[in-house]
Amino acid sequence: MSKIIAPHPLFLPGSSGQLFALHLPPVVPTSCRQYLIHIPAFAEEMNRARHVVALQARAFAQQGVGVLILDLFGTGDSAGDFKDATWSAWKDDVASAVMWLRQEGVERISLWGLRLGCLLAFDFARQRAKELEGLLFWQPVLDGRLAIDQFLRLQVAAGAIGRGGKETVQSLRLRLAAEEPLEIGGYEISPLLVHEIDHCSFLLLGMTEVNRVAWLEIRGVAKPIADLPVIERDVQLFPASQAIADDWRLSGCNLGIAQVSGSSFWQSRITEPMPELLSKTLGLWSSVSSPFQCSQPEGD
């Protein structure tokens, strides 16, 4: 029977205030300590994904890889309000988490992003690649502007009425351009954060020197893919993702890709276990970065 892993809540010092994190140390001791820092999805997607993220973190810990699940400034139980959050501050939060793990003696650190968290992880890795071992992406958001448009549509779908009638994405963007904060789905978002995210995309950022990347995307359940091996060179991502993946491989990146069947758990109020995602993530991550090959310490 697998050991039940209880995450340890803690607060890390951050540049803007204390950062809440859940710490899952590896169950199996190894000769080289290795960790993943989870960079969450945006706004309410973070909360709806917590259950699946926690299940995956436990699975990693069972395999000897520790996980630090981070709440960014202004989100979750970390200090600050969402309205005061900025993209640059969030990158500082990732740096704080890396520093804390270094102080704890961890040598091999990778980032694990979900949705917009993938874009944040990639932006950080582009600037500070030497501090990282690899990158793990779950359903990455490729373009920040499109992500903001999707977020603004929540307000449009709610039938909100503005000063000039029913709100549209365009009218909301005009209000942001006039330096007016907006409250959407219970989150007050600042024009500065929108501006920063708008100007961030995988294509604009270019490449990173981190050359070990695992990329997983979720498709609907209509097309069964359960019999596919964990990693195959003919696996196709969504077209925009595949174009980026092809460029990365041509540049020498050790990139593993996989698709899993399942639902968009980051959008659902219903808790789902997502077993295929969990198992394929473990296998794919092992394939691209060999994080589980450290030997157990002598005498254990």
Structural domain ending residue among the three candidates 183, 200, 217: 200
Mean pLDDT of the chain: 87
Residues 239-254: tens digit of each pLDDT: 889 899 888 888 888 9
Q: Nearest Cα to 87, choosing from 198, 9, 6?
A: 198
Domain co-membership, 165 together with 132: no
Q: Is the pLDDT of residue 184 over 50?
A: yes
Domain co-membership, 182 together with 72: no
User: Does a structural domain hold residue 296?
Assistant: no
Residue 238 to residues 242, 249, 292, Cα–Cα distance (Å):
6, 16, 29
User: Does a structural domain hold residue 264?
Assistant: yes
Domain co-membership, 229 together with 93: yes
- Tally DSSP H helices, then E strands, for the chain: 9, 12
DSSP 88-156: HHHHHHHHHHHHHHHHTT--EEEEEEETHHHHHHHHHHHH-GGG-S-EEEES---BHHHHHHHHHHHHH
Q: Nearest Cα to 253, choosing from 124, 148, 122?
A: 122
Who wins on pLDDT, 297 or 212? Answer: 212
Domain co-membership, 213 together with 257: yes
User: Does a structural domain hold residue 298?
Assistant: no
Query: For residue 3, what pLDDT band results from cuts at 50, 70 and 90?
Result: low
What phi-psi label fits residue 262: left (phi over 0), alpha (psi between -120 and 50 degrees) or beta?
left
Domain co-membership, 165 together with 59: no
What residues have CB less than 8 Å from 79, skipping those under 6 apart? 14, 16, 17, 18, 19, 73
Question: What is the predicted pLDDT for the residue at 161?
Answer: 67
Domain co-membership, 131 together with 232: yes
Compute the CA torsion angle 79, 11, 290, 274 (nearest 10 deg).
Answer: -60
Domain co-membership, 188 together with 83: no
- Separation between Cα atoms, residue 168 and residue 161, nearest integer Å: 9
Who wins on pLDDT, 290 or 102? Answer: 102
Domain co-membership, 53 together with 184: no
Domain co-membership, 128 together with 215: yes
Domain co-membership, 103 together with 56: yes
Question: What is the predicted pLDDT for the residue at 230?
Answer: 38
User: Does a structural domain hold residue 294?
Assistant: no
Query: For residue 279, what pLDDT band results from cuts at 50, 70 and 90?
Result: very high
* Residue 260 dihedral angles phi and psi, to the nearest 5°: -130, 150
Residue 62 to residues 3, 36, 65, 94, 252, Cα–Cα distance (Å):
8, 13, 7, 24, 31
Find out whether 213 and 137 touch, Cβ atoms under 8 Å.
yes
User: Does a structural domain hold residue 214?
Assistant: yes
Domain co-membership, 169 together with 53: no
Find out whether 83 and 74 touch, Cβ atoms under 8 Å.
yes
| CATH at 276 | 3.40.50.1820
Domain co-membership, 255 together with 166: no
Question: What is the predicted pLDDT for the residue at 231?
Answer: 38
Compute the CA torsion angle 246, 248, 253, 257 (nearest 10 deg).
Answer: -50
Query: For residue 32, what pLDDT band results from cuts at 50, 70 and 90?
Result: low
Structural domain ending residue among the three candidates 200, 219, 240: 200
**3-class DSSP state for residue 277?**
helix
User: Does a structural domain hold residue 3?
Assistant: no
User: Does a structural domain hold residue 237?
Assistant: yes
How many Cα neighbours within 13 Å face the side chain of 226?
7
Domain containing residue 218: 8-141+209-289
Q: Is the pLDDT of residue 224 over 70?
A: no
Residues 147-174: tens digit of each pLDDT: 999 999 999 988 766 665 688 999 999 9
Q: Is the pLDDT of residue 222 over 60?
A: no
Per the structure, the count of domains in the chain is 2
Residues 77-111: tens digit of each pLDDT: 999 999 999 999 999 999 999 999 999 999 899 99
Mean pLDDT value of segment 263-279:
90
What residues have CB less than 8 Å from 244, skipping those under 6 apart? 142, 202, 203
What residues have CB less than 8 Å from 104, skipping those under 6 apart? none
**3-class DSSP state for residue 11?**
strand
Cα end-to-end distance, the chain, whole Å: 19
User: Does a structural domain hold residue 299?
Assistant: no
